[in-house]
Amino acid sequence: MKLIWVVLRCFLFCWGWRDPNPVLGGFSVLLQALPNQKTVDYPSFKLVIVGDGGTGKTTFVKRHLTGEFEKKYEPTIGVEVHPLDFFTNCGKIRFYCWDTAGQERFGGLRDGYYIHGQCAIIMFDVTARLTYKNVPTWHRDLCRVCENIPIVLCGNKVDVKNRQVKAKQITFHRKKNLQYYEISAKSNYNFEKPFLYLAKKLAGDPNLHFVESPALAPPQVQIDMATQELHEADLLAAAAQPLPDDDDDTFD
């Protein structure tokens, strides 16, 4: 009987068993994201972060100091997993952020990276047009494995002056009903917004909010807020325009 229970536990673990009972609001618990990873007694979720190499995914995740301190490396899949904790009005939650560790440079990611993903961030670099043009490919690969999960599209490096991807060109999120945020990993600009959006979606609670700011690394650069406010205004104006008829986002 004991042997049967051991085999059953191994089977459940290998298939990513989750506690079917919600524990906070609409949250459910992801019991374990990786072998040898500490289990926590509060809601936790696997968050996969994808995008071209060099878009700032690793820099973004490492801004959260606790996640950087407690990160784990899984050699069989080739990823670093950063546990990022946030404090909400519904209690403490954790995102296990899966970072590709540069594997996307070698022709895509294995399905093992995506399996059991519960939410995702797709990142591109606003100073590199090709990284935005590749967003549909990352979205397709992600949705092929993870169906109907909340996804945030992030345009990173808005602190850099030579921006190449303009507001009117960013339409993919509207076509696929994704949330979009402009961020600057190095300046911490809008760091919390993707996580708050995903937490609200996972909890099914639009009133959920963070009650405490996470410990972030000091900003490495300063963002020109006047310029960024103009970009944000351009985004609002672009959102009011009809979507282009073609399937591809075009550039001037």
Domain locations in the chain?
44-240
Task: Give the Cβ contact number of residue 121 at 10 Å.
Answer: 26
CATH 3.40.50.300 fits 44-240, yes or no: yes
Confidence at residue 196, expressed as pLDDT on a 0 to 100 scale = 98
Confidence at residue 75, expressed as pLDDT on a 0 to 100 scale = 63
Confidence at residue 32, expressed as pLDDT on a 0 to 100 scale = 44
Confidence at residue 2, expressed as pLDDT on a 0 to 100 scale = 40
**Residue 210 forms beta bridges with which residues?**
88
Task: Give the Cβ contact number of residue 109 at 10 Å.
Answer: 21
Confidence at residue 87, expressed as pLDDT on a 0 to 100 scale = 97
Confidence at residue 89, expressed as pLDDT on a 0 to 100 scale = 96
Q: Which residues of the chain have pLDDT under 70?
A: 1-38, 73-77, 101-108, 245-252
Between CA 82 and CA 58 the distance in angstroms is 10
Confidence at residue 231, expressed as pLDDT on a 0 to 100 scale = 85
Confidence at residue 18, expressed as pLDDT on a 0 to 100 scale = 38
Confidence at residue 61, expressed as pLDDT on a 0 to 100 scale = 93
Confidence at residue 251, expressed as pLDDT on a 0 to 100 scale = 54
pLDDT tens digit string along 12-43?
333 333 333 334 555 554 444 454 456 788 99
Confidence at residue 21, expressed as pLDDT on a 0 to 100 scale = 34
